[in-house]
Chain A
Amino acid sequence: MALFVVFQTTFFLTLLSLRTYQSEVLAERLPLTPVSLKVSTNSIHQSLHLQWTVHNLPYHQELKMVFQIQISRIETSNVVWVGNYSTTVKWNQVLHWSWESELPLECATHFVRMKSVMDDASFPEPNFWSNWSSWEEVSVQDSLGRGILFVFPKDKLVEEGSNVTICYVSRNIQNNVSCYLEGKQIHGEQLDPHVTAFNLNSVPFIRNRGTNIYCEASQGNVSKGIEGIVLFVSKVLEEPKDFSCETQDFKTLHCTWDPGTDTALGWSKQPSQSYTLFESFSGEKKLCTHKNWCNWQITQDSQETYNFTLIAENYLRKRSVNILFNLTHRVYLMNPFSVNFENVNATNAIMTWKVHSMRNNFTYLCQIELHGEGKMMQYDVSVKVNGEYFLSELEPATEYMARVRCADASHFWKWSEWSGQNFTTLEAAPSEAPDVWRSVNSEPGNHTVTLFWKPLSKLHANGKILFYNVVVENLDKPSRSELRSIPAPANSTKLILDRCSYQICVTANNSVGASPASIIVISVDPENKEVEEERIAGTDGGFSLSWKPQPGDIIGYVVDWCDHPQDVLQWKNVGPNTTSTVISTDAFRPGVRYDFRIYGLSTKRIACLLEKKTGYSQELAPSDNPHVLVDMLTSHSFTLSWKDYSTESQPGFIQGYHVYLKSKARQCHPRFQKAVLSDGSECCKYKIDNPEEKALIVDNLKPESSYEFFVTPFTSAGEGPNATFTKVTTPDEHSSMLIHILLPMVFCVLLIMIVCYLKSQWIKETCYPDIPDPYKSSILSLIKFKENPHLTIMNVSDCIPDAIEVVSKPEGTKIQILGTRKSLTETELTKPNYLYLLPTEKNHSGPGPCICFENFTYNQAASDSGFCGHVPVSPKAPPSMLGLMTSPENVLKALEKNYMNSLGEVPAGETSLNYVSQLASPMSGDKDSLPTNPVEPPHCSEYKMQMAVPLRLALPRPTENSSLSSITLLDPGEHYR
């Protein structure tokens, strides 16, 4: 024990003495002053780099010290920063410290000094600061080189939103320097006569190629130069978002994240941020090559827990996110496979699939989605490896798409991708009767019934409808039902039924079976009821119809109408307790009239017409104007009428007509109102409110005035199209009077003329007979009175026929025959030519003599029925033919040859016409010279108009080479055909 006490005492004494010694040693060497302070600059980072040592440190001893550093700018008294730097100092150690200046170092001289104090807990108080070291001056302005203006910092990289100080150094204080950022002048603070600094707060990111900042030195208006810098502003590096890792096979972890904005800058100033994955348990690190995902190899099977740190980094900033997870909680299954459907029928099926096995005893949660008929159903099921699910309540004949996805049931992380397959259920018999309606056309003795039905919806068809069965059964006479099968997709059929009641059943059929029947009954007289049509107004949404409820048993109502322009019958079924409905369909077109018929359906399925309605979904203005006729035009009025105008075929209900009237008079007529037309002109307007009133008497007009009118119908939507006005001019007031007088006068004159014509013979004989009656002559009385009272007057009937002798003198004459132009002088004419127009008495066999004188200016002789003995002869016809042509047939032939107008040119000559007196005896010698038998004269005495024939006109002689034919004589040299 004593030994222990001695040992203890000795230990404490030794310790105490050691401590005392140490304190004494330190006390002797203190203060510990920083020495050998050197300051250097780093222009790129705008930093001052300090290095120094501490004297008086004990050998091989570490002391904790605090250094206070002062930094002044421009002059030592202008301290811009004071701070402490704490560190552990060893003997003979060179200490380093850096300070980044916000002001570019080139723009100001900096001064640095420091002092120190021991801050070591092993030494008791009091500790005190050393003396300040001497100021160290740092200036880089001298190294700028030649130039009048310098701008700093060069190519600085900063983060968006940070504050930046730029400055310029101007060698010549006479120069005025202006600085600009992206074209906008910036204003700074002058640090000394040569230096001005600009504080740019919260610099924006403009472009990754950097922002030009420049300063211009000038004297007056003379520019001395421009210098500038490019400031590279980087976007702020964002923290990666949605960082997560998962495995599909327990071999690889796939980590993903959203990288956010790319902070890369041009000029290689800053590349895109890098991403590094660090796992803290294993201590492994991986530099990711992609910016939004990285794969991590799972090497240790035993490691269940992972602690990942994702570090995003660029030149300015570092960001990191961390996740800690258990590997089994991050299982992202591969999508299921071998999806199949078994036992598929009309309403159910069994779906099977397989899951990729991960580890033993794994339970999977699978989700099934069934899409079909626009609906989606979802089911969850727990499986081991092989999955199976019974899909029920399916629709027949429907294509479904079923898909499945799975996840770890123990620790749900996320669903796998979907795996799916399509399948179609089998058909079933249609579940609903087709909607059937009919239209009936009654004809004498029968009805033409057209049945219409709507195709069943897919929901009710339960498959493809193949045909429709129509069964017609006569209700009045027991007979066999008639069945008709109409192949789909027909939606109507026509039946011709006699005047009996019929029940018609319609069913839709698919490959499995028939639908319930739709029954309709056609009565004996289906459309017998006269129903008045009511007008209704439609809207954009359709037609709102209402009707009076029907007493009795009504099982429902049907409204039918026709779609235009397809003219397809449409109908709508309405329940028995409803008396109104809205018919709305996109098929309704503006300006089309729709006729609705409302039927009530009795319990016997007989349709009875209740009401008719008609209307337009939207009325339009009339498409055309009536064709207006002007009647009864007088000097004071006229009537306009347009009876043919149809009001039914218009795109709106015609409400009436507007009659526009223009006249020179400013004032409108009574009943008319002033109106302004679309072209700005004024006119008078009359409104007719009755669409069936299609005439208007416009009266109170002025005679001999022009009026213009225009008639247009109007509907509720407006008037008909613009058209031109029609002009009407009223006649003179007296003209009608004249007509009243003139017309009777003309009538009278005409009457007289007709009477005269009818009695012309009588008048002629009375007033101017052709052969004056000697007995009636006044001369007769005179003769009787003066010379011979016994003188008698010879009767015409007493005279002997005469002949006309035509004597021609051939000498020096030349006759040209038309056509041949052969001169007649070539033929010797030695004898006088005679034209015997009448036979001699010997040959006369008629009852009495007849004298016929031809009027040579009248060219109708040959065509006259009274053939008078002269014969038309072709100029070329030989004389021998003359006899032949004396017969009527020959004459007709000659006429056909159109020789009637063939004229021989007869020269003026000595030919003369000798008139042989009727009383003179015929020359016997002349009989022989007649070439043919003379034509038998008619039993009449006919005188045709005689006229004097000039001497130069003569008939050609009937020579051998010439012919006797000319009837009409013309001047020489003129030839007519």
Chain B
Amino acid sequence: MKEERVVPLLLVLHWKHGAGSPLPITPVNATCAIRHPCHNNLMNQIRSQLAQLNGSANALFILYYTAQGEPFPNNLDKLCGPNVTDFPPFHANGTEKAKLVELYRIVVYLGTSLGNITRDQKILNPSALSLHSKLNATADILRGLLSNVLCRLCSKYHVGHVDVTYGPDTSGKDVFQKKKLGCQLLGKYKETIAVLAQAF
């Protein structure tokens, strides 16, 4: 187990809005160490967080595409379809360990993407306060979920290193592309979180 390295507690610390830069390289011989003891009922907490996210995902999606204006609300399939190419995969029939690792990757991906979206929307739609609030709340739950998944992986399976990918950096895109990418990501999020909530 000592071979399985890292971890991304640092990721949690560095996870800010717009974070798109790669994580610092983890020392190869880093051990799976957790500063605080994990909660006894971690899986229940994970399930609860997934259910919470699943419950609010559709409202977040609607708030988002409504705030972008036409053509978004009337062309969801064309503009907000879940066509996110590099989205981490998830296999619901895998072992718990495999599922937790995949969940970890997805949560990291979603966390960075949501950070970008939140940043963009605060600039573009400064008056859409309910959207901002919903985005922030979702990001908060994702952070908690990531922490719990990490705890579970580390404490039960001694997994200290997971290769992750981040959401696309939208800072160089034009405004329409930012809107579109955000909409696609939230569409994908809504779809994925439903599968995840079901799988755990």
A734 → chain B closest CB, angstroms:
93
| B175 contact from A180, A182, A183, A267, Cβ within 8 A | A267
Q: With an 8 A cutoff between CB atoms, is A209 at the interface?
A: yes
CA distance A268 to B72 in the complex (A): 22
Which of A330-347 touch B at CB < 8 Å?
A: none
A155 touches B175 (CB 8 A): yes
Contact of A212 among B78, B126, B176 (CB under 8 A): B176
**A-facing mask of B160-179, CB < 8 A → 1, else 0?**
00000000000000111001
B71–A214 touching, CB < 8 Å: yes
Chain B CB within 8 A of A226 CB:
yes
B124 close to A (CB within 8 Å): yes
Residue of B nearest to A180 (CB): B71
- A266/B124 contact (C-beta < 8 A), A154-B176, A212-B69, A227-B176 known: yes
Quick one: which of B75, B126, B174 has the most chain A CB within 10 A?
B174
Task: Give Cα A214 to B79, complex, Å.
Answer: 11
* Partner pick for B70 among A210, A212, A267, CB 8 A cutoff: A212
Report whether A216 and B78 are in contact in the complex, using a CB–CB cutoff of 8 Å: yes
| Interchain CB contact under 8 A, B71 and A209 | no
Candidates B68, B78, B179; contact of A223 at CB < 8 Å: B78
In the bound complex, do residue A230 and residue B125 qualify as a contact, i.e. CB atoms below 8 Å apart?
A: no
Determine how close the nearest CB of chain A comes to the CB of B137; give it in whole angstroms: 23
SS class, residues of chain B in contact with chain A: helix
Residue pair B174, A229 in contact (C-beta under 8 Å): yes
Asked whether, in the complex, the Cβ of A182 is within 8 Å of the Cβ of B70, the reply is: yes
Q: Which B residues between 133 and 184 are near A, CB-CB below 8 angstroms? A: 174-176, 179-180
* B78, B126, B179 pick with most chain A CB within 10 angstroms: B78
- Complex Cα distance, B179 from A959, in Å, reads 132
Residues of B contacting A182 with CB < 8 Å? 70
A-B contact count (CB 8 A): 54
Residues in A whose Cβ lies below 8 Å from that of B68: 212
In this assembly, does A225 line the interface, its C-beta being within 8 Å of a C-beta of chain B?
A: yes
| Residue numbers in B under 8 Å from A183 (CB-CB) | 70-71
Do B174 and A155 touch (CB < 8 A)?
yes
CB-CB < 8 A to B79: which residues of A? 226
Which residues of B from 104 to 146 have beta carbons under 8 Å from A?
Answer: 123-126
Residues B125 and A228 in contact, CB atoms below 8 Å apart: no
Q: Taking the nearest CB of chain B, how far is it from the CB of A206, in angstroms?
A: 9
Are the C-beta atoms of A266 and B126 separated by less than 8 Å? yes
Residue in chain A with minimal CB distance to B173: A154
CA distance A347 to B160 in the complex (A): 99
Q: Which of A212, A214, A266 contacts B125 (CB 8 A)?
A: A266
A209 and B78 within 8 A (CB): no
B123/A268 in contact, CB under 8 A:
yes
Residues of chain B with a CB closer than 8 A to A151's CB: 176
A230 touches B71 (CB 8 A): no
User: Chain A nearest CB: distance from B112 CB in Å?
Assistant: 21
Chain A interface, DSSP helix/strand/loop, else mixed: strand
Bound together, the chains give a CA A957 to CA B78 distance in angstroms of: 131
Closest to A214 in B: B71
A228 touching B123 by the CB < 8 A rule? Answer: no
Q: Which residues of B sit under 8 angstroms from A214, Cβ to Cβ?
A: 71, 176
> B70 to chain A: which residues have CB within 8 Å?
180, 182-183, 212
The minimal Cβ–Cβ distance linking A44 to chain B, given in whole angstroms, is 11
Q: How far, in whole Å, are A154 and B176 apart by their CA atoms in the complex?
A: 8
In chain B, positions 4-61 with a C-beta closer than 8 Å to chain A are none
Per the 8 Å Cβ criterion, residues 209-224 of A in contact with B are 209-210, 212, 214, 216, 223
Closest residue of chain A to B128 (Cβ to Cβ) is: A209
Contact A228/B71 with A209-B125, A214-B176, A266-B124 known, Cβ cut-off 8 Å: yes
Complex partner residue of B176 from A209, A223, A230, A266, CB under 8 angstroms: A230
Chain A residues in 8 Å Cβ range of B71: 180, 183, 212, 214, 216, 226, 228
Q: How far is the CB of B83 from chain A (nearest CB, A)?
A: 10
Q: A182-B70, A216-B78 are in contact. Are A209 and B174 (CB under 8 A)?
A: no
Chain A residues with CB below 8 A from B72, complex form: 212
Chain B residues with CB under 8 A of A225: 78
Residues of A contacting B77 with CB < 8 Å?
223
Instruction: Select from chain B the residue with minimum beta-carbon distance to A183.
Output: B70
B29 to chain A, nearest CB (A): 42
**Looking at the complex, which one of B75, B124, B180 makes contact with A209 (CB distance below 8 Å)?**
B124
Residues of A within 8 A of B126 (CB): 266
Interchain CB contact under 8 A, A226 and B78: yes
- Flag if B75 contacts A226 (CB, 8 Å): yes
Please measure, in the bound complex, the distance between the C-alpha atom of A227 and the C-alpha atom of B174, giving whole angstroms: 11
Residues of B within 8 A of A223 (CB): 77-78
- Verify A154–B174 contact, CB threshold 8 A: yes
How distant is A176 from chain B, measured CB to nearest CB, in Å? Answer: 15
- When distances are taken between beta carbons in the complex, the residues of chain B under 8 Å from A268 are 123
CA of A226 to CA of B74, assembled, Å: 12
B78 A210 Cβ-Cβ under 8 A: no
- Nearest chain A CB to B123 CB, angstrom units: 6
Interface residues as binary, A879-899 with B (CB distance below 8 Å gives 1, 0 otherwise): 000000000000000000000
Tell me which residues across on chain B come within 8 A of A229, comparing CB atoms.
174-176
> In whole angstroms, how far apart are the Cα atoms of A854 and B126 in the complex?
125
Contacts of B69 in A (CB 8 A): 209, 212
A210 touches B75 (CB 8 A): no
Residue picked from B69, B72, B75, most chain A C-beta under 10 Å = B69
- Closest approach, in angstroms, between the C-beta of A935 and any C-beta of chain B? 117
| A228 cross-chain contacts in B, Cβ below 8 A | 71, 176, 180
Considering the chains assembled together, what is the distance between the CA atoms of A180 and B79 in angstroms?
15
Q: Which residues of A180-239 are within 8 A (CB) of B?
A: 180, 182-183, 209-210, 212, 214, 216, 223, 225-230
A interface with B by C-beta (< 8 Å): 151, 154-155, 180, 182-183, 209-210, 212, 214, 216, 223, 225-230, 266-268
Closest 9 pairs between A and B when the two form their complex, measured CB to CB: A154-B174, A230-B175, A228-B176, A226-B78, A267-B124, A183-B70, A214-B71, A155-B174, A155-B175
> What would 10 more interface pairs be, CB under 8 Å, given A212-B71, A212-B176?
A154-B174, A155-B174, A210-B175, A216-B78, A223-B77, A225-B78, A226-B71, A226-B75, A229-B174, A268-B123
Cross-chain pairs A/B with CB under 8 angstroms, 27 sampled: A151-B176, A154-B174, A155-B175, A180-B70, A182-B70, A209-B69, A209-B125, A210-B124, A212-B68, A212-B72, A212-B176, A216-B78, A223-B77, A223-B78, A225-B78, A226-B78, A226-B79, A227-B176, A228-B71, A228-B176, A228-B180, A229-B176, A230-B176, A266-B124, A267-B123, A267-B175, A268-B123
